[in-house]
Structure 1
């Protein structure tokens, strides 16, 4: 039978090897002789803070003894959250996820530890230590999967928030799981969860789901907003959990989402009606700075989208006004959306927009360097999808006008972006556009194109576990 080594034995051996007394080692660690003696003799367990001091004094890397700490003081002893909690936080700091996984796996048989682990997960999530928090949320959710609790719903919402990424197929799966838990959330969390779900469905162009989710959000927000402004409820509402934005914003954002659904369906007149609805905010009772910020933001979006829907419906007379509006706007994450609309209209109605592309050339070139580190679901999901679409529309415009070099450059960008976000529709559209104009492609681009196709194929082979049948 293999004997598990102990930290105590390792320390004892080190002291003999270095010829250090307990007092001398205590001075190095900043701990008194009595504590060192109790640890060496086995009469006293140690905290993770004491372990870190000992590890540093021995000249070893941070976390060197963490696996032994789990064996000696967590697995082999009755669970003690006063010892486990600081250890989990320290493992999160050092990104020692395997250690967290082992500890949680050891104690999660007992439901009594679930509330404390959930609390730790929430703190780690707030600190931005999402990988560590995810492990705890997943374990709490697994243990409580039959409890029908609000805590379980919050875990699923946090898991959704952390896991949403570039792969749109995985995002759709994550959204489908969260949907089943939204109604179990606190009323406040329900609004943010529905907003985030709607933005993910919007990036996936699942318009029926966007419409359904937006209407649920509006209904709930209208009820909560009315209750908030009843005199008898005002005192109670002040103690409620804070929303990520003013409550009226969820009502107006539902109108904006419904407008985007109508746009996708080609019903620009109805899209305009929704736009006029969120432009008129005279009913909003809040007058603080945060509220005024959102009111002005919606007025700006309404002006932009009014131009856009008229332009997309064929009213090309508004193009110049729309371009001047874009030029007067600050350069932000919405710039790609505004210019995308120009390109969609240009391709649909064969409009020459060379002057527009020249005017915004620097901004368009910067799109290639754009990232999406934001925690806001719209910025993380909708904007990357629009970058891919914008690249395709640019490629379409230039290729059909005979500007093959720049057209193929944007086509390659759109294909790569579509592959990154795993959007098969855009990727196939790009392939079709290449096939249409392949006779005009230089050999260098053809080689890059074929290399990308092969990479996508091999990625799919690996992902799906199938064989490429090479011998």
Structure 2
């Protein structure tokens, strides 16, 4: 039978090796002699905080004894959540995900621990410890997969949120898995879930799914808005869980539907929905947050009315759009890049010379790749717009024989689409490069080929080599 070593034995061996008394070691570890004696004698189990103090006093790296801690105090004894909970939080701080997996694997045979692990996961998620929280959410979801509980749905929502990142192929898989759980969330949580799903599908240009999520969100938000105002000014705590005022989910659904019709080239329908989210006279609230969002919708609508006319071929409104951009207040970098993208799409579609207009965006073009992510829209939709803008700039410059600028923007777009793992638009970039390759300098060609080779090598490492027969 295999003998499991103990932390107590390791500490006892250290004391003898160094010739230290319990009192001397207690001073080194900032612990009183009685606690050290109880630990060495085995009369008292230790906490993770005491373990950290002992580890530090012995001159060992943080977490050195964590595997033994699991063996001695979690596997070999009845699980005690008062000991396990702080241990999991400490492992999260040290990014010891494999250690967390061992702990969870040791106790999750018992469904009674599932609610507590879910609570710990929620706290870790709130603290921004997403990688550690993901381990717990995935385990809770696995053991509760046949329970059809709201807790399971929340786990799947958190897993979707954490897993959504740069890789668009991974994002579509995460969205497809989570979508099946949306209806199990409570009615309020469903609104943010549908909004997040719609924005992921929007970044993927899956317009049928954007339309579906938007219409579901609108119908559910309208019901909740009606119920809220039937309560005759009673405060509804449920609505405090939302990340935005309740009316926003109705108007944002109209904005999403407008973007669907715009992408499909139905600019008349896009304008109908744009006018709908511009008209917010029906909103009953008058607080500061409400006024802020009403201002945003009016700001977006004013711009998008012009954009829809411009993209439909009414090039006379281009100057109106430029004037709007020049006078718009509180314009973010994301706004500026999307404005430039709209101009470049119209310029390439209708062969408009916009070289003078582009100069107004020089600062934004230089910082094209520098954007921050604060929610699902800025995390998913905005990076796709940035990559797309690079492609449209490349198309414009290359077709006008400004090859240095064209290839520079094309390489940016191609690298961005590779990061996003968007194969379709990555291939579009390659096609545009090959179409103009005779105009590329030797250095540009070398950079292009080196990048393609790097992508190929990464794919070989990821997917393995192909066996050759013969």
- Correspondence for 2:361: 360
Report deviation, 1:291: 0.9
Q: 1-side partners of 2:83 and 2:240: how far apart?
A: 31
Q: 2-side partners of 1:256 and 1:239: how far apart?
A: 25
8 Å CA contact retained: 2:189, 2:241? no
- Correspondence for 1:389: 388
> Could you tell which deviates more after superposition, 349-358 or 421-430?
421-430
Report deviation, 1:469: 5.5
TM-score, with structure 1 as normaliser: 0.96
- What does 1:52-63 align with in structure 2 at a 5 Å threshold? 52-63=52-63
- Correspondence for 1:295: 294
Unmatched segments (≥5 aa) in structure 1: none
Report deviation, 1:455: 2.2
Report deviation, 1:231: 2.6
Q: Which secondary structure state, in structure 1, belongs to the residue aligned with residue 333 of structure 2?
A: coil
8 Å CA contact retained: 2:267, 2:309? yes
Q: Which secondary structure state, in structure 1, belongs to the residue aligned with residue 334 of structure 2?
A: coil
> Could you tell which deviates more after superposition, 118-127 or 398-407?
398-407
- Correspondence for 1:243: 242
Go from structure 1 to structure 2 and tell me whether the alpha carbon gap of 1:353 and 1:434 turns closer, same or farther (over 3 Å shift). Answer: same
Q: 1-side partners of 2:148 and 2:381: how far apart?
A: 32
Go from structure 1 to structure 2 and tell me whether the alpha carbon gap of 1:258 and 1:82 turns closer, same or farther (over 3 Å shift). Answer: same
- Correspondence for 1:7: 7
8 Å CA contact retained: 1:461, 1:468? no
List per-residue Cα deviations over 1:301-338 (Å, max 9, x = no partner).
Answer: 01111111111011111111211222333233222111
TM-score, with structure 2 as normaliser: 0.97
Report deviation, 1:4: 2.0
Report deviation, 1:465: 3.1
Go from structure 1 to structure 2 and tell me whether the alpha carbon gap of 1:385 and 1:469 turns closer, same or farther (over 3 Å shift). Answer: farther
Q: 2-side partners of 1:466 and 1:327: how far apart?
A: 54
1:316 aligns with 2:315: yes
Go from structure 1 to structure 2 and tell me whether the alpha carbon gap of 1:417 and 1:469 turns closer, same or farther (over 3 Å shift). Answer: farther
List per-residue Cα deviations over 1:158-190 (Å, max 9, x = no partner).
Answer: 000000011111100000001100000011110
- Correspondence for 2:24: 24
- Correspondence for 1:341: 342
Q: 2-side partners of 1:443 and 1:470: how far apart?
A: 37
Report deviation, 1:241: 5.0
RMSD of aligned residue pairs (Cα, Å): 1.6
Q: 2-side partners of 1:408 and 1:271: how far apart?
A: 33
Report deviation, 1:457: 2.4
Q: 2-side partners of 1:24 and 1:459: how far apart?
A: 55
1:275 aligns with 2:274: yes
Q: Which secondary structure state, in structure 2, belongs to the residue aligned with residue 78 of structure 1?
A: coil
Aligned length: 468
Q: Which secondary structure state, in structure 1, belongs to the residue aligned with residue 332 of structure 2?
A: coil
Unmatched segments (≥5 aa) in structure 2: none
8 Å CA contact retained: 2:118, 2:140? yes
8 Å CA contact retained: 1:388, 1:418? yes
- Correspondence for 1:327: 326
8 Å CA contact retained: 2:338, 2:385? yes
